[in-house]
Structure 1
C-alpha cells in the first residue's frame, strides 16, 4: 500500500512538473564574456523568474544563476556562492538586454565589469560523437548537456590486467572522472560493444560532474569504482558516487553494471534472477514494478531469511535497519562477486546509512536454484 502511494505521488509530481515545464520557455545561446567563449541556457518562467546555466568553453563546468526579467526585458541574475546570499567577492551577476535574436549586457564580479554578447545556438547543428551511445537520450534532450558533452575527451592514464584482459584507464579531461576500457590482443565485436557501453557511462558520469552546481555555495561530485569482478563469462563493476549539487544535504549512491562477456550484453537483473512464472515484463513498466513489489521482493526476502536470519529479523526500534521490509529490496543495486550475487537494499533518505549492507550476498550454489532458465552463463562453484 505504501509503495502504491509512493507511485501515485510520483505520478502526480511528474504531471505537475510537465505542466510547469510547458509553462516555461528556454533559449540556448553562445557568445563571449569579455574575451572568454561561453555557452548559456536561459529558462524563462511565467512569473518573471529567470534561471540561467552557463559554462566557459575551456572548462565546460556549469555555473547556475537565478533572478528576474522586468517589464522592459532586462534580465538580472545572480550567483552568490555563499549560503548567506551576500554579494561578495566570489559572487557574480549578469545584466542582459534583448538585442535582435540575442542578448547584450554586462557581467559583474569582484569589482570587475566585462561585456557580454550572446547569439542563438542550435544544438542539433553541433556534432556530438557520443550522441548515439546507449543511455544518452536524457543528454540528447538537454541542449546544454548535448553541447557540453560534444567536446568531452578521454586521456589515458594507466593499464592494469585482469584475467585475459587489459584494463586501460582514462580520465575525462574537463571533469577528471576516471573509468576503464577493455582491451585484448585480438579485439572483437563483443569487446567493442562493452567498450561502447563503458564510454557512454563515462560521458554520462562526466556530464553529471560538470553539471553539478549550486547558486549559493560550492558543489562537489566524486565517482569511484569500488569493485571489479571478472571471470570467463562475466564483467561486473560497481560505481559509487558522492555529491552535493545544492539542497539541504549531500547525497550518495551506487550502481552496478554487469556484462555477459560472450555477447557483450549489459545484463538486467531479470536476465539472471527470476522468481516469476509468467512471461517476463519489460523493464520499468507497470507490470515490471508490480512483479518487483509483489513477487521479487518477498521471494528475495525469503532467500535472505534462510541465509542471514539474524540480519533479517523484524526490528522494533526506529533507529535500527529493518531489512525485513520488502520495499527496500524491490529495486536493489546488484553485481557479481567472487562469493556470489550481491544485492543491496535501498532505503529512504532518512535511513540511508542502512543502504547496501555488506552481508547480502546470495552464494552461487544457492543462486543456481533461481536463475532464469535461458541463462547460459557458467557461474563459479
Structure 2
C-alpha cells in the first residue's frame, strides 16, 4: 500500500532533492489536494522551473509537466511510487524515452558563506534556497550617485541587477544597508523565476527590470525598481516597487514614517508588496490593515489630491464627461496606495489605476510633492529631511 506523504496539508509543500536520469534536480510537491497534486522542479544545472500537476492514488503518484490539465498537447509524464525515503519511479518524454527518477526529502542547511537573506531561506523556503545557492553574481559597473560610490552586481541568468554602497556610511551601518540591498536583489531573482513558471504554459515569460538610485543621503536611501513583465496572464503588466530605507537603521520605510497628515501619533505599516519574505507583519506593523486603509482613503489621499490640485492644476483637471480615455488624477481613490520614492525635489508618487486605465500610470514625472509640503508633516521615524 502506498504510504501517506510525509507532511500534512497544513504543513505545506514538501521539498526534495534527487536525480532524473543522471541529472541532479530539486522538486517541490504540494499534496494539499491529493486529486490535484501540484508542484515544480528544476535541474540544478539550469535552475529554471518546470511545472507539475497530477494526482495521488493508492497505487502511485501520477503527474505531467504543465500547469494544468487544459493543455491537450503532449507533455512528459512522471509516475512515482513511495520508497522508504521519498519517491522513486520514472519520467517518460513525449517521444517515449524513459529515465529513472528518485526523490529524497531535502534537508538544506545554511552555509558559513551565506548572507543573512539566503540563510533565512534555508528554513523558510528551502526550494528557493537550493536554487539561489547555485547562482553566482557578476560584478558590474561602478558609479557615484549624490556623492556615494556604488558597485553594481548582476545575476546573469535572470538579468536582475542591483548595487551595493561602497562607502559613505559608518562600517556597521554600511553592512546593514548592503544586506538589505543584496536581499532585495535575491528577492527579485525569486520573482523572475516565479514569472517564468507562470508563463510556462504560454511560452517564455518576460521580466525586464530597470533599477534607478533616486536619492541617497545620510538619512534615507530611495531606489526605483520598475518592472515590465508578462508572466502568462491575459495581459502584460508593469509597475514600480521602490525600496525606501532608513539609512540610519537599515529598516524599510513606510510612507507614514516620513509623511503624516493624520491625527495623533504616526503608525508604521508595510504592505505585503513592501515586505520581504523575512518580514513579520505582526512585529513590523503597528496597526491593522483596516486602520491603515481608512487613514489612506479618508485622510491621506484627499489631502494629497488637494495639494496636487494647487501645485499642478493642469494635470489634475478631471477629464470631460464622456471622455473614457482620460486620466482622472483628481480622483482620490487612485492615490490611496501609490508607489513612492524620494527625489532631490521631494517625494514622487505614482497613482494606481484600474487595469483598463493602467496607461495613466506610465512615465509620470510630475506628481512630486515638494519638500516644502512635506516638512510641516513629519512622519514617525523622526528623520531629518531632505
TM range (shorter): 0.7 to 0.9
Classify the secondary structure of the residue corresponding to 2:292.
helix
Of 32, 38, 55, the residue aligned with 1:51 is 38
Work out whether residues 42 and 48 of structure 2, in 8 Å CA contact, stay in contact via their aligned partners in 1.
yes
CA–CA distance in 2 between the matches of 1:263 and 1:52? Answer: 39
Q: Match for residue 94 of structure 1?
A: 78
Rate the CA distance shift 1:122–1:139 in 2: closer, same or farther, 3 A.
closer
How far off is 1:373 after superposition? 7.7
How far off is 1:168 after superposition? 0.6
Rate the CA distance shift 1:296–1:166 in 2: closer, same or farther, 3 A.
same
Structure 2 unaligned segments of length 5 or more: list them: 1-7, 271-287
**Count of aligned pairs:** 354
How far off is 1:328 after superposition? 1.4
Q: Match for residue 284 of structure 2?
A: none
TM-score (norm 1): 0.82
What whole-Å deviation, never above 9, does each CA across 1:299-323 have from its counterpart, x for those lacking one? 1111111111222233333322222
Q: Match for residue 93 of structure 2?
A: 109
What whole-Å deviation, never above 9, does each CA across 1:252-306 have from its counterpart, x for those lacking one? 2211222344454432211221101212223152322221121111111111111
Rate the CA distance shift 1:133–1:24 in 2: closer, same or farther, 3 A.
closer
Of 228, 237, 241, the residue aligned with 1:255 is 241
How far off is 1:370 after superposition? 2.8
Work out whether residues 131 and 140 of structure 1, in 8 Å CA contact, stay in contact via their aligned partners in 2.
no
Of 344, 366, 369, the residue aligned with 2:373 is 366
What whole-Å deviation, never above 9, does each CA across 1:56-108 have from its counterpart, x for those lacking one? 11222221122233442231222389x96411xxx433222222232222223
CA–CA distance in 1 between the matches of 2:123 and 2:326? Answer: 42
Q: Match for residue 261 of structure 2?
A: 275
Work out whether residues 107 and 116 of structure 1, in 8 Å CA contact, stay in contact via their aligned partners in 2.
yes
TM-score (norm 2): 0.81
Of 184, 192, 208, the residue aligned with 1:201 is 184
CA–CA distance in 1 between the matches of 2:33 and 2:160? Answer: 37
CA–CA distance in 1 between the matches of 2:115 and 2:333? Answer: 35
CA–CA distance in 1 between the matches of 2:102 and 2:43? Answer: 14
Q: Match for residue 333 of structure 1?
A: 339
Q: Match for residue 104 of structure 2?
A: 119
RMSD: 3.0
How far off is 1:127 after superposition? 4.3
CA–CA distance in 1 between the matches of 2:337 and 2:257? Answer: 15
CA–CA distance in 2 between the matches of 1:66 and 1:196? Answer: 37
Structure 1 unaligned segments of length 5 or more: list them: 1-20
1:238 aligns with 2:224: yes
CA–CA distance in 2 between the matches of 1:376 and 1:24? Answer: 42
